[in-house]
Amino acid sequence: MSYLSRMFRAARLEAALYQEVKQDKGAIFQALGIVILSSVAAGVGGSPKTEAGLEFILLGTLLGLASWFVWAYLIYFIGTRILPEPATVSDYGQLLRTIGFSSTPGIAHILGVLPDMTMAVFLVVSVWTLAAMVVAVRVALNYASALRAVAVCALGWLVQLAVFLLLSAFTGNPPAGPV
């Protein structure tokens, strides 16, 4: 299966794709590539159209990567320790591969460069990415319930948001927030 084909299937929210990459230990590099592409796209799409754009792109990319890793760990911890189902059996690698692929819609953040479209693009892409994340978490953690996957993703996002807000309060910088 080609990398591009896997990305399209991930963007279409195909549960079979997430099951496939869950089992494919070699897909970790593909998943990481998607996370990097998505982070760069968010950095470019969200950058101001000024001379400081390159610095903002780099910062946005790095924050996107950091945010993703924090959210991934929180999802793993919450999903396997706090809200597991009886059938929940997963390792961190399986989760990283599946949710890495769920970042595929985030590549569309690049469309934020369109004039006056940044907020709309980021809203639509964020909802799409969250939907992909729910499918990925449900598969990775063997959940029978999509609602449990939604709860794990939402709880992870809220904890991550709280951490970013606390860091922002201590540094005096506006929150970069979860991507």
What pLDDT is recorded for position 17?
98
Task: Point out the least confidently predicted range of 2-6, 116-120, 140-144, 149-153.
Answer: 116-120
Domain ranges (residues) in the chain: 3-171
- The amino acid at residue 17 is L
- Residue with structure tokens 């949710």? 99
- Specify the pTM: 0.87
Between residues 177 and 156, which one has the greater pLDDT? Answer: 156
What pLDDT is recorded for position 172?
61
Q: Which helix (H) or strand (E) holds 162?
A: helix 146-171
